[in-house]
Structure 1
Amino acid sequence: MNISTLFFGELEVQETEVFTFAQGVPGFEELTQFTLVQPADSAPFSYIQSVQEGGLSFLVTDPFLFFKDYDISLPETVQEELKIEQPGDVLVWSVVTMNDDFTKITLNLLAPIIWNVKTKLAKQIILHDSEYNIKHEIVLSEVSEEANEPTQVEG
Structure 2
Amino acid sequence: MSQVTEESTQTERVLSLPLSFPIGLPGFEGHHSFILGALGPEYGPYIGLRSSQEGGPSFVIAQPSELGIEMTVDIDDFHQSLLGIKDADEVIVMLVATLDADGGLPTVNTQAPLVINVTNWRSAQILQTNQAYSMHQEVEVPLLDASRVVAADDAVDTRSD
Using the size of structure 2 for normalisation, the TM-score is 0.72
Over the aligned positions, Cα root-mean-square deviation in angstroms equals 2.1
2:125 corresponds in structure 1 to 124
Higher gyration radius (CA): 2
Structure 2 runs not aligned, ≥5 long: 1-13, 143-161
CA displacement 1:88-118 (0-9 Å, x = unmatched): 2111110001111221310100000001111
Q: 1:137 to 1:68 in 2, by over 3 A?
A: closer
Amino acid at match of 1:23: I
2:33 corresponds in structure 1 to 33
Q: 1:132 to 1:13 in 2, by over 3 A?
A: closer
8 Å Cα contact 1:31/1:53 also seen in 2: no
* Cα offset, 1:51, TM superposition: 0.6
Instruction: Work out the CA distance in 2 between the residues paired with 1:93 and 1:20.
Output: 14
Instruction: Work out the CA distance in 2 between the residues paired with 1:68 and 1:108.
Output: 11
* Cα offset, 1:129, TM superposition: 4.2
In the alignment, does 2:44 pair up with 1:43? yes
In the alignment, does 2:52 pair up with 1:59? no
Amino acid at match of 2:38: Q
Q: Which moved more, 1:52-61 or 1:86-95?
A: 52-61
3-state SS, counterpart of residue 88 of structure 1: helix
8 Å Cα contact 2:36/2:47 also seen in 1: yes
8 Å Cα contact 1:34/1:49 also seen in 2: yes
CA displacement 1:48-106 (0-9 Å, x = unmatched): 11111345210001112224431222122211110012212111110001111221310
Structure 1 runs not aligned, ≥5 long: 1-11, 142-155
Provide runs of 4+ in structure 1 moved above 4 Å: none
8 Å Cα contact 1:110/1:132 also seen in 2: yes
CA displacement 1:1-42 (0-9 Å, x = unmatched): xxxxxxxxxxx998xx32211111111111100010112322
The residue correspondences of 1:102-117 to structure 2 (distance < 5 A) are 102-117=103-118
Q: Which moved more, 1:125-134 or 1:88-97?
A: 125-134
Using the size of structure 1 for normalisation, the TM-score is 0.74
Percent same amino acid among aligned pairs? 27
Instruction: Work out the CA distance in 2 between the residues paired with 1:62 and 1:132.
Output: 15
